[in-house]
Amino acid sequence: MRYKSCRKIREGFNFYRSGVVSACCYAISQELNLARIDDANLPEKILLGQTRLIARHKHDDAPAVCRRCESFIEDEWRDAPALPFSRITLNHYKKCNLKCVHCGYRQGDDSEHDTDHGAVLAAIQACMDAKICSSSPYLEVGGGEPSLARGLEDIFKRALADNWKVLINSNGAKFSPLFAEGVNAGLFTLLLTPDAGTAKVYEKIKGVDYFDITWRNIGRYMAATSAKALVKFILEEGNKDDIPAMIETSLKYGVKNLVLSMDMNLSPERRRQFIPMIRDFCVRAAKRGLSVTPGAFLPAI
Ligand code: SF4
Ligand code: SF4
């Protein structure tokens, strides 16, 4: 049957702050909360919660946050999750060394606290034991800055030991040998986000003067991974005139592969107005031998 729904709630779920397990990493709403991490019957609650949310989508009763979401699309959907869940997002912590203007995590409720990393790993194991979760899940790590989160290393080490694939979003302001090891093992995809090619723009949009530290670390990651780590630029109002410097600074630090995405806070109409800048980015990158992969929230060009 055709109706509006999303892939996220069929393929996985999200660990959030303050012990919350939620439907997805795209929106924060009580209506998307599935369970608390210390619930005795956590796997059953997660499965029941996603199944109920699918039913709400099917019966034209989707939460308001879903109706606004870009992933909420009309298609021929299955009426149940695709078990075992294969994708788990980790957004359960918020510590970060930057103050990016576009950051939704930083603007979160200050009363929220990090969920214990050990509890998250135990919950993943419980979901595997209950067979609702794949024994080799794909983890997407966002939240705050993962290189700073003490205890998160245990999840990365488990991923390395058990061949789990992990997508890590890091601002690059701290170098992690473990991230480089995971990239070299072919298990981790490391997305480094400097978002600027000049110190002035960096400080304006990141809120902290870490331009040199970050790019030096990016150079270290490139050397340590034979340039397999990726650099992502999120185009936004504050950096849209910095494109030539983004390309040249990437080259200077040995980057080979770029990802281009856009500030999710911009309206779809405003994002379309960025199309000439997106084209400029791609042309400049191609001329300098850099590959560009389209990332999230990029309008079709
Ligand atoms: S439609 Fe969007 S906000 Fe709603 S559950 Fe799916 S991904 Fe999350
Ligand atoms: S680096 Fe990431 S988590 Fe930290 S403030 Fe910037 S966008 Fe937010």
Residue 182 contacts residue 146 (beta carbons within 8 Å)? no
Nearest CA among 294, 292, 301 for reference residue 262: 294
The residue length of the chain stands at 301
- Is 93's pLDDT higher than 60? yes
Among all bound ligands, the one having the nearest atom to the CA of 102 is 2
Which residue among 91, 100, 112, 114 is best mutated to probe the pocket of ligand 2, counting the most ligand atoms within 8 A of its Cβ? Answer: 100
The pLDDT value given to residue 101:
85
- Is 14's pLDDT higher than 90? yes
Q: Is the CB of 65 under 6 A from ligand 1?
A: yes
Instruction: Report the pLDDT averaged over residues 208-219.
Output: 97
Q: Which two tokens stand for residue 249?
A: 């600074």
Q: In the chain, which residue ranges form alpha helices assigned H by DSSP?
A: 8-11, 42-58, 64-67, 117-129, 152-162, 177-184, 199-206, 211-224, 243-252, 268-272, 275-287
- Is 165's pLDDT higher than 70? yes
pTM above 0.75, yes or no: yes
Report the DSSP beta bridge partners of residue 234. Answer: 261
Q: Is the CB of 171 under 6 A from ligand 2?
A: yes
- Is 107's pLDDT higher than 60? no
Q: Report the atom number in ligand 1 closest to the C-alpha of 62.
A: 4
Per-residue model confidence as pLDDT tens digits over 196-210: 999 999 999 999 999
- The helix-helix angle for 177-184 and 211-224 (nearest 10°) equals 40
**What's the pLDDT band for 268 if we cut at 50, 70, 90?**
confident
The pLDDT value given to residue 94:
87
The pLDDT value given to residue 109:
60
The pLDDT value given to residue 245:
98
Percent of the chain with pLDDT strictly greater than 90: 85
Q: Report the atom number in ligand 2 closest to the C-alpha of 94.
A: 3
Which residue among 105, 204, 210 is best mutated to probe the pocket of ligand 2, counting the most ligand atoms within 8 A of its Cβ? Answer: 105
Distance (Å, whole) CA 172 – CA 178: 13
Q: Is the CB of 120 under 6 A from ligand 2?
A: no
**What's the pLDDT band for 110 if we cut at 50, 70, 90?**
confident
**What's the pLDDT band for 142 if we cut at 50, 70, 90?**
confident
Q: How far apart are the first and last CA of the chain?
A: 31
**What's the pLDDT band for 103 if we cut at 50, 70, 90?**
confident
Among all bound ligands, the one having the nearest atom to the CA of 91 is 2
Q: What is the mean pLDDT of the chain?
A: 95
Nearest CA among 12, 45, 42, 47 for reference residue 26: 12
The pLDDT value given to residue 86:
98
- Is 26's pLDDT higher than 90? no
